[in-house]
Amino acid sequence: MTMNGLLHDPDFFSRHNRTQHPENANRLSLLGDLAFGEPVEHRPATDEELLAVHTTGHLHTVASSCRNGGGFLDPDTYCCPESETVARAASGGLVDLCFGVLAGTFANGLALIRPPGHHATCDQAMGFCLYNHIAVAAAALKTRGVSRVCIVDFDVHHGNGTQDIFYEDDSVLYMSSHQYPHYPGTGSVAEIGRGKGAGFTLNHHLEAGSGDDELLTGYRDHLLPRLVDFEPGFILVSAGFDGHADDPLAGLNTTTAGYRKLVDLLIQKAGRLCEGKIVFVLEGGYYPRALADCLGETMRSLKDGSSE
Ligand SMILES: [Zn+2]
């Protein structure tokens, strides 16, 4: 049986930390010892890998801010002296995890990386995000001959950065479910892509207060049929669990069981469409107990998915 791949190094990723900020190292403190997966080493993403989705100016901004002792890159987004090293290693490790799944070394994968990435645009850090790891991974997969990558983003916030980066690209289908209206303000259903990318961005709104039924119905009726039509060669998931009822940063009422059902659905689709090639990438999730429970369910689902 092929193993699951796991990118997880709490001591290392904790070097990017700021207490009194919701995106802190304590988020993953309740995970405990993980009996899951074969470890994947993080390694620095190369400039070439980062520049496939970011500008040179953005790399310089992040690096120089860290060299100068850190601070805030926007009102929400901090960096500390080691943040560039940590974020770069998160992207590089994720690329290797994805290549491992592509090669069949791993059945599927989970990346427990920080800081998150989906709000980072080509030239701006924002929303706690410095580099857009999932976008870096999608671009890297394309260099290995994957002609169609689908990014499914179920974080409660719209992944404006990822959408932006692939907005005119028909080789990456970006689909997002998110609370709307809410931070960062983008992600209306009218945003569908541009040029040859028209039709390759798909946004689904969830009203404040909505729960599992609205979330799962949105996927079954609206998002997943498009995913099937697209026939992806690889599925990447921006897995944010900040829509959980206990999470302090948003207003959805998704339960741990609801997230498990959604994760199951995505893994089933990957099994049917692309030989199970799916990698879940941690984005948000700011209540440690709920995050640990949801990630535990995700690991169980990935294990079940790889033994089918
Ligand atoms: Zn979020």
pLDDT (tens, 9 = 90+) of the chain, 308 residues, equals 789 999 999 999 999 999 999 999 999 999 988 889 999 999 999 999 999 999 999 999 999 999 999 999 999 999 999 999 999 999 999 999 999 999 999 999 999 999 999 999 999 999 999 999 999 999 999 999 999 999 999 999 999 999 999 999 999 999 999 999 999 999 999 999 999 999 999 999 999 999 999 999 999 999 999 999 999 999 999 999 999 999 999 999 999 999 999 999 999 999 999 999 999 999 999 999 999 999 999 999 999 987 75
Are the C-beta atoms of 82 and 75 separated by less than 8 Å?
no
Are the C-beta atoms of 121 and 18 separated by less than 8 Å?
no
Distance 156 CA to ligand 1 centre (A): 5
Distance 97 CA to ligand 1 centre (A): 23
**Burial level of 57, CB count in 10 A (0-12/13-18/19+)?**
exposed
Distance 116 CA to ligand 1 centre (A): 9
Please state the φ and ψ torsions of residue 105, each to the nearest 5 degrees: -65, -40
Compute CA distances 47 → 85, 177, 243, whole Å. Answer: 12, 31, 33
Distance 80 CA to ligand 1 centre (A): 21
- The full set of domain ranges for the chain reads 3-306
Please tell me the predicted confidence (pLDDT) of residue 6: 98
CATH number for region 3-306: 3.40.800.20
Structure tokens at 165: 């980066």
Compute CA distances 192 → 166, 204, 210, whole Å. Answer: 11, 11, 24
Please tell me the predicted confidence (pLDDT) of residue 121: 98
Q: Which residues contact 128 (CB under 8 A, 6 or more apart)?
A: 22, 23, 76, 77, 78, 115, 116, 119, 284
Q: Which residues contact 246 (CB under 8 A, 6 or more apart)?
A: 287, 289, 290
Q: Is 119 a catalytic residue?
A: yes
Q: What whole-number distance in Å separates Cα of residue 164 and Cα of residue 158?
A: 11
Q: What whole-number distance in Å separates Cα of residue 48 and Cα of residue 63?
A: 15
Please tell me the predicted confidence (pLDDT) of residue 308: 58
How is residue 196 annotated by DSSP? G
How is residue 197 annotated by DSSP? G
Q: Which helix (H) or strand (E) holds 108?
A: strand 106-111
Please tell me the predicted confidence (pLDDT) of residue 35: 87
Annotated active-site residue in 42, 118, 119, 205: 119
Distance 152 CA to ligand 1 centre (A): 14
